[in-house]
Amino acid sequence: MYPIVETEALSSAAHKLVVSAPAIAKKVLPGQFIMLRIDEEGERIPLTVNDSDPEAGTITLIFQPVGATTMQLETMKAGEALLDVVGPLGNPTELEGATRACVIGGGLGAAIAYPQAKWLHEHGISVDVIVGFRSKDIIILEDEFKAVADNLIIMTDDGSNGNQGFVNVGLQKQIDAGVDYDLVLAIGPVIMMKTVAEVTRPLGIKTLVSLNPIMIDGTGMCGGCRVKVGGEYKHACVDGPDFDGHQVDYDEVMRRNRQFTTQEAQARDHVCKLGR
Amino acid sequence: MATKYNMQAEKTPIAEQDPVVRASNFDEVALGYTLEEAINEANRCIQCPKKPCVSGCPVGVPIPEFMKELAEGNVARAYAIVRAANTLPAICGRVCPQETQCEGVCTRGRKGDPVGIGRLERFVADWALDNPEEAAAALAAYTQETEEGQEYTAQKLSQYKVALIGSGPASLTCAGELAKRGVKVTVFEALHAVGGVLVYGIPEFRLPKDLVAREVAAITDLGVTFEMDAVVGKLYTIEELREEQGFDAIFIGTGAGLPMYLGIEGEALNGVMVANELLTRVNLMKAFRFPEYHTPVYAGKKCVVVGGGNVAMDAARTAKRLGADVTIVYRRSMTEMPAREEEIHHAEEEGIHFNILTNPVRALGNDEGWIEGLECVRMELGEPDESGRRRPVEIEGSNFVIDCDMLVVAIGSRTNPLIGNTTEGLEVTKRGPIVVDEATGATSLPGVFAGGDVATGAATVILAMGAGKAAAKGIVDYLLQD
């Protein structure tokens, strides 16, 4: 069992859990994820680790309550426990060698991209952060990002914070202003990562994207997370989750992610009816 | 003493669920023998002096002795004889390919059916699960009588700690053998359930999961510790297990869990999956009880399964139970099919169609990216290849399309590279398996052993168990030489 130490609603679209998992906390690096299962009936779902505290033996998870499992997770309180937490899985993001980086997060992707921004900052690499949200009221981690970013640019889809546009617009502006990035990391909705990759492709800027396809075991066994990268199939769980953003077949990733739409709605109904 | 053997030519029939009924449930197919049936069948063993069955068994169960006791109605004693040699008898009685092992070489099989050794192994093992105290007492008494048993008691191995990685049949057997000798054993398992392929791969209707849990409980009772959710290679490296956690030896039994793909166009269409995905969802995550269990599974109306092995049969019969009309596509003929005869027979009984001498060319998708057909080509058999089986050759221009809304790829699996990649100095072959000395399980790293599918590539439960048993001996020798 993995006790929940702390919970916090960061916004209506982002929820934070701090979970006791000492062995994982010691090992996890930016970009890696865990698989969790709440209880005997639960699914195994992948969540990227947002932060870790090796001394306290805890890891921080930030998620958006959208599916049966994440909705159930949102209702859990400190003192309750998760049945299974497996990790750290996947490969850490390759950040070494960068001199001027831009970390881009869309929505919940902002939370997922935070550890990389922090790592770059702590390793003396200059890093800009561009994060995008639907509107002003669901902006998260603003203080955390301010502390690590050379420049923090927050975009909103509806312009409610006075800076309307998607993250790719923010990135384009930086590039047009003459900032010479040698690494761009984009994490968020697939369509967002695709548009970011389109901005950097003509300029040949190394661009990494973090994929989060359907997974069951997370150890390379089920093949559910296969993604086409450079014409070849890779397993996001063991070969990723980061891939060269210019090589990913995003349309296929989006299509495969829709495979269980009907069942996902059913599972949500089931969880809601149980009053969880 | 003139024992009267039962010279009935056929095996005593075993009760099975009706094929029509069972094709829509996940309950076990075979129902097992009654005591009378078991005694009747055990009496078919004529106690031939050569005992070919024993050498036909990868773990060397003394089959004639077990038959003799059972024929006389001594079920507890019969169980003890089996269990002393085989850590997982209830599992082996169900999933071993007896027809190519013990039963394949049985003297009775030369004229009529061989003795139903597998069914009888299952019978005594199931009896033991229902009568645990009596079974444990019989096992203890039997062990004390054997030379090997006395040797275990004499050896003082409790100062040693051994880590086993993976909890499939190889590790479970190795764990049981080491624990019997007093070694402190910890098994590290990446998933949340003990059993490896026994729980994620083999379906409930062939191997009930509560039965796996009960055989595992018997190993836990020997003092074996299981650490779940522990992916070795990620959470701990082999080196850390040795240096920081103080394990004196390591056994790697991580199996062959990595799926192989057809490499054809359309393989990533929605509705296309590898057998591992279908089986893991249904077996490990219990998706057949969705939404009570939250993991969904996609089941089409018309399903094609590609492959001819046991996994293909398992996938086909699983899809059938989820409501699909299922066709197996296999590139050679029925004779070359690697699946067990019994599995093929059960699949046929359940209404699975077989499209043999057929090979997939590409998967066709609709506008939304879901599979709607599988283009195949007819094959004919040419000259034998290196496996000794006749090589299938395409018949040019014979392409045709099978309509389907679900495709399951079951053409084999490879070893998981995780430990090989994260362990310096561990010799691995080009195709992935870890290089081992077959007799001892020793790898290129001193004190590190391996066995089962991770060393051989995908094979059977019992071969993995044989390797686990051999490695346990190798590990004990290694510990004692220190």
pLDDT digits (tens, 9 = 90+) for B450-459: 999 999 888 8
The single residue listed with the structure tokens 């790697």 is: B252
Domain A93-200 class in CATH: alpha beta
A residues 19..38 contacting B (CB < 8 A): 23-24, 27, 37
Length, in residues, of chain B: 482
DSSP secondary structure of B385-434: -TTSSEEEEE-TT--EEEE-SEEEE-S-EE---HHHHHSTT--B-TTSPB
User: Chain A closest CA to B286's CA: distance in Å?
Assistant: 8
| pLDDT for position A274 | 66
Average pLDDT over residues A3-17: 93
Chain A to chain B, count of Cβ pairs less than 8 Å apart? 117
Question: Where is B371: in which H helix or E strand?
Answer: strand B371-384
Contact B43, B37 (CB under 8 A): no
Residues of chain A in contact with residue B192, where contact means CB-CB under 8 angstroms, are 37, 44, 83-84, 86
B229, B261, B276: residue with CB nearest A233: B261
Residue of A nearest to B192 (CA): A84
B292 part of contact set with chain A, CB < 8 Å? yes
CB contact under 8 A, B418 and A217: no
Torsion over CA: B203, B205, B210, B211 (sign): negative
Name the fold adopted by B15-144.
Fumarate Reductase Iron-sulfur Protein; Chain B, domain 2 (1.10.1060)
B20 to each of A217, A267, B279, B302, B323, how far by Cα in Å?
33, 30, 21, 18, 12
**Domain range annotation of chain B:** 15-144, 154-257+415-479, 259-412
- State residue A137's pLDDT score: 92
Asked if A2-89 and A93-200 have one fold, the answer is no
CA A223 to chain centre: 21
What average pLDDT is seen over chain B?
Answer: 93
Q: Which residue, among B331, B324, B292, B277, has the nearest Cα to B309 in the 3D structure?
A: B331
How does residue B289 score in pLDDT terms, banded at 50, 70 and 90?
very high
Beta carbons of A216 and B285 less than 8 Å apart: yes
How many angstroms separate the CA atoms of A81 and A177, rounded?
49
For position B2, what pLDDT does the model report? 44
pLDDT in tens, A115-173: 999 999 999 999 999 999 999 999 999 999 999 999 999 999 999 998 989 999 999 99
pLDDT at B193: 96
Distance from CA of A219 to the nearest CA of B (A): 8
Residue A266 structure tokens: 């059913």
* B191-206 per-position pLDDT tens digit: 999 999 999 999 999 9
Is B148's pLDDT higher than 80?
no
Q: Does B259 contact chain A (CB < 8 Å)?
A: yes
What percentage of residues in chain A have a pLDDT greater than 70?
Answer: 99
Range B154-257+415-479 classified under CATH 3.50.50.60: yes
Contact B251, B455 (CB under 8 A): no
Beta carbons of A238 and B418 less than 8 Å apart: yes
Q: Please give the pLDDT value at position B416.
A: 83
Fold type of domain A2-89? Elongation Factor Tu (Ef-tu); domain 3 (2.40.30)
For A255, the closest of B228, B286, B369 (CB atoms) is B369
Gap between the Cα atoms of B15 and B34, Å rounded: 9
Fill in the amino acid letter for A12. S
Q: Which residue has the tokens 């921004």?
A: A117
For residue B404, the one-letter residue type is: C
Contact state of A270 with B294 under an 8 Å Cβ cutoff: yes
pLDDT number for residue B149: 66
In this prediction, residues A95-111 reach a mean pLDDT of: 93
Phi and psi at residue B294, to the nearest 5°: -85, -10
Q: Please report the ipTM that was assigned to this predicted complex.
A: 0.93
Q: Give the pLDDT band of residue B1 (cuts 50, 70, 90).
A: very low
Task: Please write the tens of the pLDDT for every residue from A41-92.
Answer: 999 999 999 999 999 999 999 999 988 899 999 999 999 999 999 999 999 9
Predicted pLDDT at B481: 87
Which sign does the torsion angle of CA B248, B219, B187, B443 carry? positive
User: Rounded to whole angstroms, what are the CA distances from B329 to B195, B332, B351?
Assistant: 29, 9, 14
Nearest to B294 among A24, A43, A238 (CB): A43
Residues 142-181 of chain A with CB under 8 A from chain B are none
Q: Does A219 sit within 8 Å of B298, measured CB to CB?
A: no
- Phi then psi dihedrals of residue A226, to 5 deg: -65, 135
Burial class (CB in 10 A: 0-12, 13-18, 19+), A150: middle
pLDDT at B153: 63
CB A247 within 8 A of CB B283: no
Mean pLDDT of B23-48: 94
String of DSSP letters for B224-277: -EEE-S--BTTTB-HHHHHHTS--SEEEE-----EE-----BTTTSBTEEEHHH
| Option in A84, A256, A271 nearest B229 (CB) | A84
Question: Cα–Cα distances in Å, from A2 out to A51, A56, B166?
Answer: 16, 13, 21
The answer on pLDDT for B12 being more than 80 is yes
> What was the pLDDT predicted at B3?
61
Give the three-state DSSP class for B194: coil
Do B298 and A84 count as a contact with CB atoms less than 8 A apart?
no
Q: pLDDT digits over A185-235, tens only? A: 999 999 999 999 999 999 999 999 999 999 999 999 999 999 999 999 999
pLDDT at B388: 82
B42 vs A153: CA distance, rounded Å: 79
Asked whether the predicted pLDDT for residue A183 surpasses 60, the reply is yes
Calculate the alpha carbon distances from A125 to A95, A176, A177, A190, A215 in Å: 9, 21, 20, 27, 33
Domain ranges of chain A: 2-89, 93-200, 211-276
- Strands A58-63 and A14-20 come out as antiparallel
State how far residue A32 is from chain B, nearest Cα, in angstroms.
Answer: 10
CB contact set of B330 (below 8 Å; sequence gap of 6+): B306, B307, B308, B312, B337, B354, B355, B356, B357, B358
CATH of B259-412 among 3.50.50.60, 3.10.129.10, 2.40.30.10, 3.20.19.10: 3.50.50.60
In angstroms, the Cα distances linking B341 to B104, B111, B333, B347, B383 are 12, 19, 13, 10, 24
Assess contact for A7 and A78: CB atoms under 8 A.
yes
CATH topology agreement for domains B15-144 and B154-257+415-479: no
* Distance from C-alpha of A50 to C-alpha of A116, rounded to nearest angstrom: 9
Whether residue A68 lies within 8 A of chain B, CB to CB, comes out as: yes
pLDDT at A28: 96
Residue B118: CA count within 13 A, CB half-sphere? 23
What are the distances in angstroms from CA B18 to CA B25, B130, B351?
A: 11, 25, 12
Question: Which candidate from A37, A223, A270 shows the least CB-CB separation from B291?
Answer: A270
Q: Mutation target for A interface from B273, B294, B371: give the one with most A CBs within 10 A.
A: B294
Q: Verify whether the Cβ–Cβ distance A238 to B274 is below 8 Å.
A: no
